[in-house]
Amino acid sequence: MRSDRALWQALIAQSEREASVLLPRIEPHPAAWAVGLAGTALGLWSTRDATLPGRELLGWLALLMVLAAMLMWALWRRRSVGWRLDFDRRRLVPEGEVGTPASLEGPGWRLYCIGGSKRRSLALEFRHEDGGRPLRVLQTRAGADRREHALVSRLADVIANRLAVPREGLSL
């Protein structure tokens, strides 16, 4: 999507010059779930009683709610959550999601650009040479195109250079 490419370009520019940057967790807005579940529940409820007044109208309303939820899922992204990367303090702090702040102080940290857990996605992870669980700080949406992947790869280069950590993995 063009808007996602604009997002990656803006993140690259921010990462080059600002003291901190929010690495967003791009995901469908949770309201899509609520509308979809409500539409499904309304549809199921309206089919239970054949004598229900306005039953056909409720069925159409339920269908419209489910279709609206599908559109919301595809188009409405929540971008205000993710990991705040502070270049000066070398810290990662979660914003709007569960996680523990992490310090990137000291040697042994590496930034990996790898295939994500979603179909045709790319992810950035910080890993320490001592092992432990990798810290995934960013992942593109499923089905992202090669141009988006190239921008995320460039973002990884900028972040690795600013933090003076090795960058490994895919390079596009």
> Among residues 11, 40, 30, 41, which one has the least CA distance to residue 152?
11
Give the mean pLDDT of 127-137.
Answer: 84
What average pLDDT score do residues 61-69 get?
A: 90
Q: pLDDT tens digits for 73-87?
A: 777 766 677 889 999
Chain mean position to CA 97: 11
Tell me the domain boundaries of the chain.
Answer: 2-26+81-169, 31-75
* Predicted pLDDT of residue 161: 92
pLDDT, average across residues 127-154: 82
| Model pLDDT for residues 38-57, shown as the tens digit of each residue | 999 988 888 887 787 888 88
Could you tell me which residue, 31 or 20, shows the higher pLDDT?
A: 20
- Which pTM value belongs to this model? 0.70
| CA dihedral angle for residue 73, residue 83, residue 18, residue 157, rounded to 10 degrees | -90
3-state secondary structure (DSSP) of residue 44: helix
* pLDDT at residue 172 is higher than 70: no
CB-based burial label for 6 (10 Å; 0-12, 13-18, 19+): exposed
Q: Copy the structure tokens of residue 106.
A: 């000291």
